[in-house]
Chains A and B, each alone.
Chain A
Amino acid sequence: DAKTTQPTSMDCAEGRAANLPCNHSTISGNEYVYWYRQIHSQGPQYIIHGLKNNETNEMASLIITEDRKSSTLILPHATLRDTAVYYCIEETSGSRLTFGEGTQLTVNP
């Protein structure tokens, strides 16, 4: 299974940008990178995905390096409600999400 590497935990001050890195060195040319998050006691929630260009939506921005071996999820103005485990996921064959252990982001007041 495709494997991504993320820091175990990160802290961020409320109102500041949260930048969550991910290494996906095994990614192939046509495979997307997906980001999901899981707030405590809830199911995972889709955030954003991308192939090679930077992407932005109402929740976040995704910056993918030119070699596509790593990416950064940016929450531009983190709030306390953004405290969650963030998962970076490589696309794999079959319609399944392969979650790693993710990054626990804690937003502090």
Chain B
Amino acid sequence: DAGVTQSPTHLIKTRGQHVTLRCSPISGHKSVSWYQQVLGQGPQFIFQYYEKEERGRGNFPDRFSARQFPNYSSELNVNALLLGDSALYLCASSLAGTYLYEQYFGPGTRLTVT
């Protein structure tokens, strides 16, 4: 079975622009979480979705939003990009998002804001 897939792999945006990142979970998984990883630091939790409903939100500004689709794939949207948004964005899928040992991470999307 395929693992978690994310697209695109890399992208470069300019300050003030908008970006959409995509994640496809492992087949059968209904929960998706998003994390931001700035260079040299551990990942930071942004959102969790389960069955298309937001289950949790981290300490990120309203410029960050997400949604989950009926097929359980997910999008992370970031508006009005800042230089500080440059990071690796990771998606993790799990069956129901309940247990912390069942988080399966994708390879991430590397976002560079110039």
Residues of A participating in the B interface, judged by any CB pair closer than 8 Å: 32, 34, 41-46, 49, 85, 87, 89, 91, 94-102
Cβ B101 vs Cβ A96 within 8 A: no
Q: Is the CB of A97 within 8 A of B43?
A: yes
Nearest-neighbour CB distance to chain A for B33, whole angstroms, equals: 7
Find residues 19-53 in chain B having any chain A CB closer than 8 Å to their own CB: 31, 33, 35, 40-45, 48
Q: How large is the interface on B (under 10, 10 to 19, 20 to 34, 35 or more residues)?
A: 20 to 34
Q: Return the contact of A42 from the options B40, B42, B99, B107 (Cβ within 8 A).
A: B107
Q: What is the distance, in angstroms, from A97's C-beta to the closest C-beta of chain B? A: 6
**Are A44 and B100 in contact, CB atoms less than 8 angstroms apart?**
no
CB within 8 Å for A49 and B44 given contacts A43-B92, A95-B56: no
CA distance A34 to B92 in the complex (A): 16
26 contacts between A and B (CB under 8 A): A32-B100, A34-B101, A42-B105, A43-B90, A43-B92, A43-B105, A43-B106, A43-B107, A44-B43, A44-B90, A46-B101, A46-B102, A87-B42, A89-B100, A94-B55, A94-B56, A95-B33, A95-B48, A95-B94, A95-B99, A96-B33, A97-B35, A97-B92, A99-B43, A99-B44, A102-B42
Q: How far is the CA of A98 from the CA of B43 in the complex (A)?
A: 8
